[in-house]
Amino acid sequence: MMNLRMKPETMALLLASALFAASCMSPEKLVETGDYDRVIEMSMDKLAGRAKKNPRYVDALSQAFERANDRDLAEAEALRRDNRPEHWDRILSLYQRVADRQNRVAPLMPLADKHGIRADVRFVQVEDLIRDARNNAAEYHYNRALELMAQARLGDRFAARNAYDALSVIDRYFRNYQDKEALKNEALHLGKTHILLSVRNEAQVLLPEYLDAELRRLPLRDLDSRWRQYHTRPLAGVQYDYEVVVNMVNITATPEMVREREYEDVCEVEDGFEYILDSRGNVMKDTAGNDLKVPKKKLVRARVFETWQQKTATLHCRVDFYDKYNNNALIDSWPITADAVFENYASTFSGDQRALSDQSRNRLGNRPLPFPSDEALLMQAADRLKPIIKNRISKARVTT
């Protein structure tokens, strides 16, 4: 069996070969391929700016131009006879393609070859056809949007979104069209999925008001999209499709902890030097005549007096995601924990500073600090909790 899979470099080589072969084709052969607009572009490149125009390219352009227009106009006419309103976008694009083609070729007119023989290039009046097709295409999308809006007003938000898309197609044809903008705004409103964030307390302690308010300040606005909107407070008149419930399972703040300890750092350091003696007690020399000596080592010690402070606040929560339309079914649930830790080391020492370890040295000069309040630590924990909750919400399995 022939292997149909090709390496990228092989595919690129074949494509380049095909393009080269096409570029070497005569204009007559290119017309026969049916790629008329490519023939027109190639012929225009060969003819533009030349006083003596090659008859082969003049003839190729005129043939390709006529055949391209005939093909597009024939297709448009067949679609019109089919009398299906959804065809008007295609009909319009065909007429516009004819107009664009004629506008490109127009600067070469009148076109004659170097022998003075004029090309038979006939232009078609399509302005009225374009205007008629544009009006009919807009009418089709408008009527379709009206049908969809009737369903949307009965509660079908997906119909509202399809209506919005249909009305947006009209934007390509007309800036102002009947009550298009008012309908788009209504479709936006009816097509949105509304998601409410709630905070509930399942902990054994009273949820402080400041903490409840802080958790409701989740930065959810950048999760909003055209068809999805998050709310941290319920709004009157809004029917919510989903509810995200942040259940506070446990709220803890540990007591202030202070521990003091004393320890000793010991280090071997250099302390002068001593000469190297030979067997007769004389100082040995190197090859340059210098005395040979080695460093002397000794142990130095330092007593370190350390005070360690710590206090921790922890928020344990569970984020539940409910589908309000489906009997308030639970569709997702995630446990989340966030900590805020205050920790401080303060140290002094006595003895030889050279004995201090890097860790001891880094803690020198620190002093005991006032402990933060429970409220301050809980707020820090809430700050760390919010982006985690937001990230989980963004990954929820929501059918938008």
Q: Which residues contact 42 (CB under 8 A, 6 or more apart)?
A: 27, 30, 57
Tell me, yes or no, whether 58 and 184 share the same domain. no
Same domain, 202 and 328: yes
Last residue of a domain, one of 124, 149, 170: 124
Q: What is the pLDDT of residues 161-184, one digit of tens each?
A: 999 999 999 999 999 999 999 999
Same domain, 180 and 278: no
What global pTM score does this model have?
0.70
Q: Over 344-393, what HEC string results? A: EEEEEEEECHHHCCHHHHHHECCCCCCCCCHHHHHHHHHHHHHHHHHHHH
Domain total in the chain: 3
Q: How far apart are CA 123 and CA 106, in angstroms?
A: 9
- Establish whether the linkage from the previous residue to 107 is cis, with ω within 30° of 0: no
Q: In terms of domains, do 169 and 273 share one?
A: no
- pLDDT for 12-49, tens place per residue? 555 544 444 445 567 777 788 888 888 888 888 888 87
Structure tokens at 284: 């040995």
Instruction: Please name the residues in contact with 96: beta carbons below 8 A apart, sequence gap of 6 or more.
Output: 130
Statement to judge: residues 380 and 336 lie in one domain: yes
Whether residues 373 and 310 fall in one domain: yes
Do 169 and 54 sit in the same domain of this protein? no
Residue 335 has phi, psi (to 5 degrees) of -80, 140
Co-location of 92 and 146 in the same domain: no
pLDDT given at position 130 = 96
Band of residue 2 on the pLDDT scale cut at 50, 70, 90: very low
Domain CATH for 270: 3.30.160
Mark whether 172 and 212 lie in a shared domain: no
Question: What is the pLDDT confidence band of residue 297, given thresholds at 50, 70 and 90?
Answer: confident
Q: What is the mean pLDDT of the chain?
A: 87
- Residues 346, 367 contacting (CB under 8 angstroms): yes
Range of the domain at 86: 22-124
